[in-house]
Structure 1
């Protein structure tokens, strides 16, 4: 027998994914009081997965359709889904849509959209020798892996201010200002993951001015439109503003959170070019290359999740129901923020906790240290990421007091 070509020095053992490892540890825990605040998925007040009522309606419609089949989708995906996705993120009267300056491909959720955009930029975006991508510090950890896998170097810009537990806008601006001209600036459109801290509209405007002055390339990652505030227009404001300002940019769009289609992997990638006489020609060429990249990786995207989302996005009554469902999810999370802050302040837990209600979306950066996080897991069976991020969706009226008391104990002891 020949020895392997893949010895340990060639293929070292990779570390377990931290988030999925945390989920596995939670499942093994037999404590009746255990609390899962790690996974970024919506849970109802009984800590159970919630299928949106509108998704159930759309599913019933699809299953009763006698023409439903399982044929391949086109390389770019379901056309009525990608066009509806454009309308959702940009609004139907957006100049990018009316001027036909946008091309869109259905992707394997938001992860696939980020990857497709990064791969395209790696091959074709060459404004300087470095082509460095800049991520917020902190950011969704998968950003680093995706961009490094396609050969794009990355750096970070300051984002979370540890003392105020808010946005380090000055640090963010200074780093983007000093970045080499033409850098790729990756931006979270709303409900920043993992901090829950977003720029104000005035800060977004200043960022747009700076990015334009430095000729940087904006890359928006939007995974929580409608889920953050319950208002799809409000959550898309930053992207729409940049497009109105004439930026050339990319958008990675996910339907995992706002439709609860986590396992169906429904997403969309959009490329928008700037207004110019040859804008449609640019879009046509870009679309042709994106199709080649997509074909070589997945051939064509999965159909079911896109059909569900498309059915809802293109039907007035179903869309109205979806907006109600979004308000149900975002509203419950907002109530849990208020409840957690209230209980911590009632307990007199050392520190300030106003950031819990000032942050937005699924996640909250609590400010807890790694030592305190370890203590919460060991003594109270509370599972959260080591950096102190919690999924607010994991809290409910049955466990929020238990969690608050556990935090109070951990903070006082550590």
Structure 2
């Protein structure tokens, strides 16, 4: 008898299972609105032109080698990434109260941040929005957090932010609880707090002595403006919060499979930074030892070159503008076809995803009847829409809403 007989079959990861089913589907008009990755107007992946340029330059640089990076990563990358996030006017940067740690994309940042808070500060309670990116719960649970709690975020009734419920739940959180906040372009709802609401959130977190852990996966994807999309994080920094920010460069650099992330750490006293770095080093050494270099070198090369950085910002704006245009076209098609209900939320939401309002049964009907692949939650990736398929998707939504399911 095998020692592994007791191992049960785990449930499939929905988004990857959905992508597999889409790839195996032979239906001519199938549409993939599940995967969170940018697609062109032709429905194809896009390697950013500035990334191609950087890769060619790096490939021809004979001074580069394949030696190990330091445990905390490539400093040229981490410094540039933290600066991109916090901005040149950041008091924390000017006062040397910031450092970055290269990790395995945003997921890795969340993991090493969760490990540090658990092992060094004894944190065991974490709050994340309802709904949120599915990996938030998994990461913190697997790290040993015993209290995994949700705070109210989305209002089905209003198809927008439930700020009242949000603040009430934060007010009930125990001191030192870790609060996961989406920095911009909330996944899956595409709904962010206003500046006034961010101020209210900060007030409660400050009063309750809660720890702020931002997840920033979409800087640039909301508005096409890198600085505008960093406003929430910069506001919290300006108020003197100590915090962690998980930065992912999968989306805004199109480096999905390079797994490049930066954990930006903001502290009040820079004398403590060597202590923190030493403990992060020990934690990371026991996990994956040190990070890969290729993706980090690409980003460092671009961000540390004025001309290339401007080209990159233009590339990001190209992606953001297309997503905004697809929102307009989808809403327009739904209204033209007289889809039941109000569809203002499609264009009010931002970023890669739209929380459509379709329920689980309706979302599954979209997949089975119309071959339009989307999550059971009703989340659609705007990147999967094109001017060629948006009418088909809109008509499928109309059929779904009027069908007897």
TM-score w.r.t. length of structure 1: 0.96
Deviation digits for residues 30-49 of structure 1 (CA, Å, limit 9, x no counterpart): 00100000000000000000
2:64, 2:381 → 1: CA distance?
37
Q: What's the Cα RMSD here?
A: 1.0
**Which of the numbers 220, 228, 245 marks the counterpart of 1:226?**
220
Q: Is the CA contact (8 Å cut-off) linking 1:196 and 1:360 kept in structure 2?
A: yes
Report the Cα offset of residue 314 of structure 1: 0.5
Q: Is the CA contact (8 Å cut-off) linking 2:354 and 2:379 kept in structure 1?
A: yes
Show the 5 A alignment for 1:69-88.
69-88=65-84
Deviation digits for residues 273-328 of structure 1 (CA, Å, limit 9, x no counterpart): 12xxxx12222111110011111111110111111111111100001101111110
Q: Which stretches in structure 2 are left out of the alignment for 5+ residues?
A: none
Q: Is the CA contact (8 Å cut-off) linking 2:79 and 2:99 kept in structure 1?
A: no
2:5, 2:87 → 1: CA distance?
53
Report the Cα offset of residue 6 of structure 1: 2.5
2:108, 2:246 → 1: CA distance?
8
What residue in structure 2 maps to residue 13 of structure 1? 9
2:288, 2:41 → 1: CA distance?
37
2:176, 2:106 → 1: CA distance?
24
Q: Which stretches in structure 1 are left out of the alignment for 5+ residues?
A: none
What residue in structure 2 maps to residue 368 of structure 1? 358
1:86, 1:27 → 2: CA distance?
37
Report the Cα offset of residue 373 of structure 1: 1.1
What residue in structure 2 maps to residue 317 of structure 1? 307
What residue in structure 2 maps to residue 357 of structure 1? 347
What residue in structure 1 maps to residue 121 of structure 2? 125
Describe the SS at the equivalent of 1:193.
coil
Report the Cα offset of residue 340 of structure 1: 0.2
Deviation digits for residues 232-285 of structure 1 (CA, Å, limit 9, x no counterpart): 1111111111111111111100000000000000100122112xxxx1222211
1:156, 1:259 → 2: CA distance?
31
Describe the SS at the equivalent of 2:119.
helix
Report the Cα offset of residue 4 of structure 1: 2.4
TM-score w.r.t. length of structure 2: 0.98
**Which of the numbers 114, 125, 140 marks the counterpart of 2:133?**
140
2:159, 2:60 → 1: CA distance?
50
What residue in structure 2 maps to residue 115 of structure 1? 111
Describe the SS at the equivalent of 1:23.
helix
Does residue 1:92 correspond to 2:62, yes or no?
no
1:296, 1:47 → 2: CA distance?
41
Report the Cα offset of residue 379 of structure 1: 1.3
Report the Cα offset of residue 137 of structure 1: 0.2
What residue in structure 2 maps to residue 151 of structure 1? 144
1:380, 1:310 → 2: CA distance?
43
1:300, 1:92 → 2: CA distance?
28
**Which of the numbers 166, 184, 190 marks the counterpart of 1:172?**
166
What residue in structure 1 maps to residue 296 of structure 2? 306
**Which of the numbers 240, 252, 256 marks the counterpart of 1:246?**
240
Does residue 1:344 correspond to 2:338, yes or no?
no
Deviation digits for residues 104-155 of structure 1 (CA, Å, limit 9, x no counterpart): 110000000000100101101237xxx3100000000001110001111310
Report the Cα offset of residue 93 of structure 1: 3.2
Q: Is the CA contact (8 Å cut-off) linking 1:272 and 1:283 kept in structure 2?
A: no
**Which of the numbers 18, 22, 25 marks the counterpart of 2:18?**
22
Q: Is the CA contact (8 Å cut-off) linking 1:86 and 1:92 kept in structure 2?
A: no
